[in-house]
Amino acid sequence: MRSLDLPAGSTIRLTATARPNVARHRWDMLVFTAGGPGDAHPRLTFGSEIGGDDREQRIDVPAQDKDCRVEVTSRHAIAGGWKDDFLSIDQDTPALLTMAFSDSSAASAQRDDVLLSFAFAAAAPADAKLAPG
């Protein structure tokens, strides 16, 4: 699991992509109020299976009215359930975070079988005004 900060008013565009012929994986993203108790209920939940013929997915996380914490996981299918994927970070900048996931036990696995790319848009300043037009 990886945790990210989401300042109040910021948005995220998540793009999930899977390599061709990758077995099923499942990614999940939970948005919690920052500083809340560890067992707090998430404000938002997103998640999906990816792999096979479903190789690209997009989600827009709307701006929240409070600072939040985002928790991200990815798992691969095993007999009777799911097992956590191996995680590595491909890119980490203020505007973009790309996480690569894989089933490290699979002989054909590549480090980036599933990519989750988080594009961040900062909150607009509270005193921002539209230019006359």
The percentage of the chain sitting over the pLDDT mark of 70, rounded to a whole number, equals 89
pLDDT tens-digit profile of 58-112? 999 999 999 999 999 999 989 999 999 999 998 998 899 999 999 988 888 888 8
**Topology of the domain covering 2-121:** Jelly Rolls (2.60.120)
pTM of the model: 0.83
Q: How many C-alpha atoms does 15 have within 13 Å on its Cβ side?
A: 8
CB 11 within 8 A of CB 118: no
- Given this model, what pLDDT does residue 133 score? 47
First to last CA, the chain: 46
